[in-house]
Structure 1
Amino acid sequence: MDQEKRRGDAPIPQGAADMLNELQQLALRQMEGFGWRLHFIRRPLFQERVVVVIDASGENIGILEEDGSINMSPAIAHR
């Protein structure tokens, strides 16, 4: 049996900008100019947050790293 792990948290929580550091916020603003947007923030217990962005077509995803760089080859599952 496949049991759902989600707790009902919103994919993008209120105050999401407060969860990003300054470099991530700057990079996200720049990316938004090219049609990218915040897709969700994965918040696993006792682990670092994972900030996931998606392009305007919805086909390409990336991880917004702590240093503001974009990892375009993320090792995450996307449904």
Structure 2
Amino acid sequence: MDPITTRPEDLSHAVLIGILMHNGGSMDIPREAFTAENLGTEKGFHGLSMLPQEDGTLRISVHPRPEGDEGGVKTI
């Protein structure tokens, strides 16, 4: 699955699976990671960005989700 061509509605799942597989298939995280504050705001869930780095890796970052149905999907 190519993150650049993945449908936006599938991207969060693809990123989660990619991170887990890169870390041996599972990770232990604190329960507090799933608080409402960490997952989003009153306007909806947070979004993510994936920026290519010079060394060939991708930087995955959390960002507030933009307004609207498109969710701010932008391919660079």
Q: Say whether the fold is shared (TM-score over 0.5).
A: no
- Choose between structure 1 and 2: higher helix proportion: 2
Compare CA radii of gyration and give the structure with the larger one. Answer: 2
Higher relative contact order (CA 8 A, sep 6+): 1
TM-score under structure 1 length normalisation:
0.32
- Normalising by structure 2, report the TM-score: 0.33
